[in-house]
A and B are shown apart, each in its own frame.
Chain A
Amino acid sequence: MIDAAWLNPVIAFSIGILLSFKLRKISARVQSRRGPLIWLPDRWHDINRSKVLQPLYDIIKLFSKQTIIPSTATPFFIAGPILALMCAVLATLFVPVAGISFDYSFSLVVLFYLLMGEILFIIMGGISSASLFSAIGGVREIDLMLANEIPFILGTFALAITFDTLSIQQMMGFNILINPFAALAVLLSIIVKLHIKPFDIPEADTEIVNGLTTEYGGKLLGVLETARIIMVFVLIALFVDLFLWIPSSGALAWVIFLAGVIATGVLIGFMNSLFARFRIDQATRWLFKIPLLVSVLAIGWAVLWRYVL
């Protein structure tokens, strides 16, 4: 019997495409633009198609193009995106999709390493392109990661303390009520990991062209985009599983899961269009102040409920 969790990467990619569409559409509507269109009249069919799958078309386009590799690049330039995609795909296996995933008693720790590995491999690939902008982007990404991993780990470990386990399956639930501080800390660090607007510093196109992905094009960029789309799903699904999940099974589980994913996606979409970008020093300072404080509060809250009260 093949485990149903093997389907998770496919589901992650498909829902990730729809989530990317949603993010684009929301920021377009907030900015009083049209954005990618959901429905088009039949008579426009030859001119334009419905753009719900626009992120997918973009990726297909990238895969049909020639890949240019700079002469200064090392072999890691090619290995980086592929390893990052592998990390992202593996991460989907450990994030419950409507309650289905591989589960071990330590799956949370495995997921940490995979999420961190994805970012590190992208940094590795970008830096080995020997482009100045990639180097600056890489430094900024590392700065951001150092400041951001602490609230992420503390926020999730607060739940681990409450439930006395490191298995994601066992700590799933509507935990936003049990530990709201942990939910806030994890949401903030998800926003940083996804490079949502105030934190899109490593890929700031008006400053350092495109950061780590400056030298990428064609199929390798397609691989990176696929990894990014899967990561959008993985992180949002992780938030839904940990904080917005209501235990259920069958079709109801899917309804609850998708509702949670859409709600979180919409929230992140609005955030993306509300703020200006931080400078890297301002961002790290802010991350060491507020999310760190919130995550320490979350740990304190969890310890208080578990051991004191």
Chain B
Amino acid sequence: MKRIVDVNIPLGPIHPCFKEPVRLKCEAKGERIISAEVELGYMKKGIERIMKGRPWQEVMFLAERVCGICSVIHNMVFIEAMEQISDISVPPRAAYLRVIVNELDRMQSHLLANFSYCYTIEHETLGMYLLDLREQVMDELERLTGARVTCAYIIPGGVRCDIPRQDAEDLQASLDRIEGDLRRYTGMFENGPMIALRSRGVGILTLEAAQRAHVVGPTARGSGIAYDCRQNHPTYKKLGFVPITRPDCDNFARVMVRFDEVFQSIALIRKCLQELPKGVIRGGGVCKAGEIRYSGEAPRGELTYFIKSDEFGRIVEIQIQPPSIMNIEACCHEMIIGSDSIADVTSTFISADPCVACAER
């Protein structure tokens, strides 16, 4: 049926504030948004199809390449799923090292997401400061694993390399520095009147709507849903992990949840370094046949792998359910509707931290 609308505003697939190609089709009356629709499929990789039939040694590297921003968690969930299938136990020292690397990855991902938000509301100065901080976190990741993005640090039965004492001390020192700087920048964000004008009360996603849309990760926790997959992870349980939530339901809450989670990650890494048990970092074991559905908490929310392997450790069937797909849908069906201006559309969309590479894998 033919519909007549006031203005049809297409944002994307190439747009200055989107890191990845995605298209938002907004129907507007003046600049007020009446309805919005998201169009994915500009960068489908078909990586699940590539993974099928390959041995786990190859799939492990492919899994990391699903997403460039949160590569460690893809590695971790895939390897832990394989370990669950094959009953491979992990030495305690390796389990703690995994947490350290995973939290460093989460820190850089959250800092990048918050940079994007600051850039979208055009507070470029704060954005640049955050990007500078992210670079320091990336350096720490490189010091620990030898690579900035695709680390391939986690392997079945342990991790690839140990953390020397000197490196642990350096990591502690830079965590102190990063925390001090970030506290200042978070204060700038929290108390900035212009930022509050653009963020508070914008892009509301109520608790009911969030539950209905099954949003995950910081987007859900910004709407008051206290759910985080790390609660169920044995190592995180030992570290006494409690998820962070905020009740405000707006853009400001989502960005602040990410800031708070960076501080939480710093605290977790510190605790890991303090309690780091002595011993081996690699147990060993053989990957076997089996079938499992395993979830872990990615920086953007719950990441699920469904894996079916044969007796030689080959992947027969694999499905990846990334977190961003739910958040993107909820964003364009709940948060964007009723925005006063195009300005709020882009900032709200970015506040949900969409990762198109994950969503289209």
Contacts and interface: CB of A to CB of B under 8 A. Distances in A.
B122 A276 contact: yes
Given A32-B129, A132-B9, A209-B15, A197 B343 contact: no
Contacts of B119: 206
Interface string B1-35: 00000010110000111000000000000010000
A31 interface: yes
B346 A207 contact: yes
Given A136-B31, A198-B194, A279-B198, A31 B128 contact: yes
Contacts of A205: 16-17
B12 to A, nearest CB: 10
Contacts of A282: 197
Interface in B333-359: 340-346
Given A31-B128, A33-B128, A206-B346, A276 B17 contact: no
B230 to A, nearest CB: 32
Interface residues of B, number: 30
B123 interface: yes
Given A198-B194, A278-B194, A204 B132 contact: no
A274 interface: yes
Contact of B343 (A30, A31, A204): A204
Given A198-B194, A206-B346, A207-B343, A276 B121 contact: yes
B108 interface: no
B125 A31 contact: yes
B170 interface: no
A31 B344 CA distance: 24
Interface residues of A, number: 27
A273 B124 contact: yes
A89 B263 CA distance: 54
Nearest to A275: B194
Contacts of A278: 194, 197-198
B75 interface: no
B341 A277 contact: no
A281 to B, nearest CB: 6
Interface in A184-242: 197-198, 200-201, 204-209
A134 B194 CA distance: 25
Interface string B119-152: 1111111001100100000000000000000000
B123 A275 contact: yes
Q: Which of A30, A31, A200, A279 has the most CB of B within 10 A?
A: A279
Contact of A30 (B17, B120, B125): B125
A7 to B, nearest CB: 36
A280 interface: yes
Nearest to B124: A31
Nearest to A277: B122
Contacts of A207: 17, 341-343, 345-346
A209 B342 contact: no
B194 A280 contact: no
Nearest to A206: B17
Interface in B98-133: 118-125, 128-129, 132
Contacts of A27: 124-125
A279 B15 contact: no
B192 interface: yes
A277 B121 contact: yes
Contacts of B340: 279, 281
Given A31-B124, A207-B343, A276-B194, 7 more contacts: A32-B132, A132-B9, A207-B17, A273-B124, A276-B192, A277-B122, A279-B341
9 contacts: A32-B132, A132-B10, A136-B9, A205-B17, A206-B17, A276-B195, A277-B121, A277-B198, A278-B194
